C-alpha cells in the first residue's frame, strides 16, 4: 500500500470517532492513532469564530490535526497543544491577494512582516512581474544580485522551479504565483516598444500555458511599467484567453490610475469580456485631487460589468499613498529599452526637456515634490532613504527635478518611492465596497537583517491589522465578518482554492487569532519596520508559527499550485 493511501485511509477511519466529540456536527477530517482513540494536535478553544464566509460570528472551538482543520464547533477532545481564545476572534488565515514577497522569502523565510499580520498565503507574481520565465540574461542578473547581496543561490528560471524551491524552504507563509505578462514579454521580445508579431504572440501564449501547467493561478499585467506597457489590447486578450476554462483571473495593474483611469478600466474589463475570463483590478485608486471623483465612477463601471457577465473584482490596500519606482514619474516610453537608455534620454538635450515637463506635470498632479518619499536607494545616496524630495532639495539648495535625476542616475535608475496621491474618503469607500478585497501590495520585511535595509511603505507590516483596527473598529466602515471575508473566503474563491479561506472541517489549517478590541497597525511612514499589535497566534498549515505574539521557530508554508491549463470552450 502506498504511504499516501495509508494516510488517507487513516483519515477516513477517524471521522466517526471525532464526529461524536463535536457538538455542532461539523464533519471532522483527522487521523486517529491505533489503540488510543481520537486525537487532535491543536485545539483553539473558546473563541468567537469569524469563519470567512461573511456570516455572523459565533462562539466555538477549532480542532486541527496535521495540516487540516478537523472540526469546528464544540470540541470535547483535548489537543496536544491548546490555545485559549476567550475574548478573541478566530478567523481563517489571511490571503494577501496581491503580494510582492517573491524572492524575499528566500532571503528570510521567517517572513515576519507578513505572518505577524495574520497572512498565511501570499499571492505573488504581480504587476506583470513573476519569477520567470527568464532567459540567460535575466537569470544571470537575478542570480548574481541575490548571491552578492544576500548569499542566496537562485537555481531556477521559471515559476515551477520557484514553487519547488518554496517547498524546500518551507517559509512562514504559503505562496501562490501568477504568470507575469511583462516577464513573458521580456523573454520573447525584450524591452522594445512595438507590437508583437504573430510568431512572438504564439510564443508568449505557450509560455503562459507553461506557467499555468506549473501551477500558476492567474495572469498579471503591469501596464504602467515596461515592457508590459508596450502591449496592444489584442495581445492582452490573446494571452488572457489562455485562462479560459480555469477560475483564475486576469489581474491587472492598469495603464493609468489618474487622468486616464476610466479609459484604463474600460480596457481591463474589455480584456476579461473578450477573453471570457475573470478580472481582478489591482490596487484600485484615483490619483491626484482632480481625479478623486473618478473613484465612484470606477466602482460603478465594475458593478455594471458584473451585471453583464464579467466576473470582476478589485483589491486595495488601506492607505492613501502608493509605492512604485521613482522612474515612474516619467512616461513609459521614456523607459523603453531599460535603465541605461532611460538615463541617456534624461541627459539628451533634445529628449530631456520634454521628459522634464512630463515629470513636473506628474508632480503637479500629485500636489508638490513633498508628496514623494524616497524608500529604496543604496550606495552613497542612502542618506535620502525615508526623506521627502522637496525637503531634501530645499536642504541641499538643489532644484527638486535636478535632484530626482541625479538620484536616478547615481543609482542606475533603480530608486523606490512612495507617493501621497489618494483621498482618505475614497480609500474607505473602496475598501468597504462588497466587490473589493484587501491586499498589501508589499514585500516581506523584518526589522533586522538584510530586509531591514530600506524604508518601505508601512503596508508591508500593517495592512491587515489596519483594516481590522482603523476601518472596522474605529471607522465602522464595514462589519468584522465582512472584513474577514474580504481577506480570506473571497480571495480564496477568486483563485479557485476551495479548501482555503474558511473555517471548515477538511479545510487547510490556516488560522489567525486576534483581539478585535486591540488589533492595530503600528508601522508608520516615518518608522515602517514595526510589527502590529493584537495578533497573538497564527497557524499556517497546522503549524503554530506565532504563539503569544512570538515566533515559535516552526514554519509551515508551502507552494500552492493551481490545477493547470485552461482554454476550454
Q: Are 360 and 390 in contact (CB under 8 A)?
A: no
What pLDDT digit, counting tens, does each position of 76-117 carry?
Answer: 999 999 999 999 999 999 999 999 999 999 999 999 999 999
When pLDDT is cut at 50, 70 and 90, the band that residue 172 belongs to is very high
The predicted pLDDT at position 7 comes to 32
- Whether 414 has a pLDDT exceeding 70, the answer reads yes
Query: Which residue in this structure is represented by grid cell 506565532?
Result: 546
What pLDDT digit, counting tens, does each position of 306-354 carry?
Answer: 999 999 999 999 999 998 899 999 998 898 888 899 999 999 999 999 9
What pLDDT digit, counting tens, does each position of 496-544 carry?
Answer: 999 999 999 999 999 999 999 999 999 999 999 999 999 999 999 999 9
> What's the grid cell of residue 308?
453583464
Q: Kindly write down the DSSP assignment for every residue of 189-234, as one continuous string.
A: T-S--SPPPHHHHHHHHHHHHHHHHTT---EEEETTSTTGGG--HH
User: What values do phi and psi take at 85, rounded to 5?
Assistant: -110, 20
Can you tell me the mean pLDDT for 214-220? 98
- Whether 217 has a pLDDT exceeding 50, the answer reads yes
Q: Which of 15-24, 161-170, 340-349, 410-419 has the highest mean pLDDT?
A: 161-170
The Cα 335–Cα 214 span in angstroms is 31
The Cα 486–Cα 483 span in angstroms is 5
What pLDDT digit, counting tens, does each position of 175-204 carry?
Answer: 999 999 999 999 999 999 999 999 999 999
Percentage, residues of the chain above pLDDT 70: 92
Q: Are 389 and 370 in contact (CB under 8 A)?
A: yes
- Whether 567 has a pLDDT exceeding 80, the answer reads no
Q: Which residue has the higher pLDDT, 493 or 568?
A: 493
The predicted pLDDT at position 332 comes to 87
What pLDDT digit, counting tens, does each position of 19-47 carry?
Answer: 444 433 333 433 333 334 467 999 999 99
The predicted pLDDT at position 4 comes to 35
The predicted pLDDT at position 38 comes to 60
DSSP letter assigned to residue 411 = T
The predicted pLDDT at position 3 comes to 34
Strands 174-177 and 179-180: unpaired
Q: Which residues are CB-contacts of 31 (< 8 A; sequence separation ≥ 6)?
A: 7, 10, 11, 13, 14, 39, 65, 66
The Cα 365–Cα 395 span in angstroms is 24
> What's the grid cell of residue 520?
492595530
- Whether 487 has a pLDDT exceeding 60, the answer reads yes
Percentage, residues of the chain above pLDDT 90: 87
Note if the bond before 227 is cis, omega within 30 degrees.
yes
The predicted pLDDT at position 454 comes to 85
Q: Are 439 and 522 in contact (CB under 8 A)?
A: no
Query: Which residue in this structure is represented by grid cell 472584513?
Result: 483
- Whether 285 has a pLDDT exceeding 90, the answer reads yes
The Cα 556–Cα 398 span in angstroms is 50
Please, what is the average pLDDT of the chain?
A: 92
When pLDDT is cut at 50, 70 and 90, the band that residue 564 belongs to is low
CA angle, 119 then 122 then 124, to 5°: 155
Q: Are 188 and 235 in contact (CB under 8 A)?
A: no
Provide Rg for the chain, Cα atoms.
Answer: 24
DSSP-assigned beta bridge partners for residue 62: 44, 72
Can you tell me the mean pLDDT for 393-415? 94
The Cα 504–Cα 507 span in angstroms is 6
Amino acid at each position: 500500500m502506498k504511504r499516501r493511501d495509508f494516510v488517507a485511509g487513516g483519515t477516513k477511519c477517524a471521522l466517526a470517532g471525532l464526529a461524536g466529540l463535536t457538538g455542532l456536527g461539523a464533519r471532522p477530517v483527522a487521523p486517529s492513532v491505533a489503540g488510543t482513540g481520537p486525537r487532535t494536535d491543536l485545539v483553539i478553544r473558546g473563541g468567537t469564530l469569524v469563519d470567512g464566509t461573511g456570516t455572523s460570528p459565533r462562539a466555538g472551538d477549532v480542532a486541527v490535526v496535521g495540516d487540516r482543520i478537523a472540526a469546528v464547533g464544540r470540541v470535547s477532545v483535548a489537543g496536544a497543544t491548546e490555545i485559549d481564545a476567550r475574548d478573541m476572534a478566530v478567523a481563517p488565515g489571511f490571503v494577501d491577494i496581491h503580494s510582492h514577497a517573491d524572492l524575499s522569502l528566500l532571503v528570510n523565510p521567517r517572513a515576519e512582516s507578513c505572518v505577524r499580520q495574520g497572512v498565511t498565503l501570499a499571492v505573488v507574481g504581480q504587476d506583470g512581474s513573476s519569477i520567470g520565465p527568464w532567459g540567460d540574461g535575466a537569470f544571470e542578473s537575478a542570480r548574481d544580485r541575490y548571491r552578492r547581496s544576500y548569499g542566496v543561490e537562485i537555481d531556477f528560471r521559471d515559476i515551477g522551479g520557484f514553487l519547488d524551491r518554496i517547498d524546500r524552504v518551507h517559509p512562514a507563509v504559503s505562496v501562490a504565483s501568477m504568470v507575469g505578462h511583462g516577464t513573458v514579454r521580456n523573454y520573447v521580445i525584450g524591452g522594445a516598444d512595438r507590437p508583437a508579431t504573430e510568431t512572438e504572440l504564439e510564443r508568449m501564449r505557450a509560455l503562459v500555458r507553461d506557467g499555468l501547467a506549473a501551477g500558476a493561478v492567474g495572469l498579471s499585467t503591469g501596464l504602467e511599467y515596461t515592457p508590459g506597457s508596450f502591449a496592444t489590447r489584442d495581445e492582452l486578450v490573446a494571452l488572457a484567453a489562455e485562462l479560459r476554462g480555469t477560475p483564475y483571473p486576469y489581474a491587472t495593474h492598469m495603464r493609468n490610475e489618474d487622468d486616464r483611469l476610466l479609459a484604463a478600466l474600460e480596457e481591463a474589463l474589455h480584456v476579461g469580456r473578450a477573453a471570457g475570463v475573470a478580472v481582478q483590478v489591482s490596487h484600485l485608486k484615483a490619483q491626484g485631487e482632480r481625479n478623486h471623483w473618478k473613484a465612484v465612477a470606477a466602482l460603478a463601471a465594475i458593478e455594471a460589468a458584473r451585471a453583464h457577465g464579467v466576473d470582476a473584482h478589485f483589491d486595495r490596500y488601506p492607505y492613501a499613498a502608493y509605492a512604485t519606482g521613482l522612474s515612474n514619474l516619467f512616461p513609459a516610453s521614456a523607459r523603453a529599452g531599460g535603465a541605461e537608455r532611460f538615463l541617456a534620454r534624461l541627459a539628451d538635450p533634445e529628449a530631456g526637456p520634454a521628459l522634464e515637463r512630463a515629470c513636473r506635470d506628474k508632480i503637479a498632479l500629485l500636489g508638490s515634490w513633498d508628496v514623494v518619499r524616497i524608500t529604496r536607494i543604496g550606495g552613497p545616496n542612502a542618506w535620502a532613504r525615508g526623506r521627502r524630495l522637496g525637503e531634501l532639495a530645499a536642504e541641499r539648495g538643489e532644484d527638486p527635478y535636478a535632484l530626482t535625476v541625479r538620484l536616478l542616475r547615481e543609482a542606475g535608475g533603480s530608486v523606490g518611492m512612495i507617493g501621497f496621491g489618494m483621498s482618505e474618503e475614497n480609500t474607505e469607500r473602496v475598501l468597504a465596497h462588497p466587490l473589493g478585497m484587501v491586499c498589501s501590495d508589499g514585500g516581506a520585511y523584518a526589522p533586522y537583517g538584510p530586509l531591514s535595509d530600506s524604508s518601505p511603505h508601512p503596508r508591508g507590516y500593517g495592512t491587515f491589522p489596519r483594516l481590522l483596527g482603523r476601518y472596522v473598529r474605529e471607522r465602522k466602515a464595514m462589519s468584522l465578518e465582512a472584513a474577514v471575508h474580504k481577506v480570506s473566503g473571497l480571495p480564496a474563491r477568486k483563485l479557485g482554492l476551495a479548501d482555503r479561506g474558511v473555517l471548515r472541517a477538511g479545510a487547510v489549517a490556516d488560522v489567525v487569532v486576534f483581539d478585535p478590541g486591540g488589533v492595530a497597525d503600528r508601522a508608520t511612514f516615518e518608522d515602517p519596520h514595526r510589527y502590529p499589535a493584537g495578533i497573538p497566534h497564527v497557524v499556517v498549515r497546522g503549524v503554530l508559527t506565532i504563539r503569544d505574539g512570538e515566533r515559535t521557530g516552526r514554519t509551515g508554508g508551502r507552494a500552492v499550485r493551481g490545477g493547470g491549463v485552461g482554454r476550454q470552450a
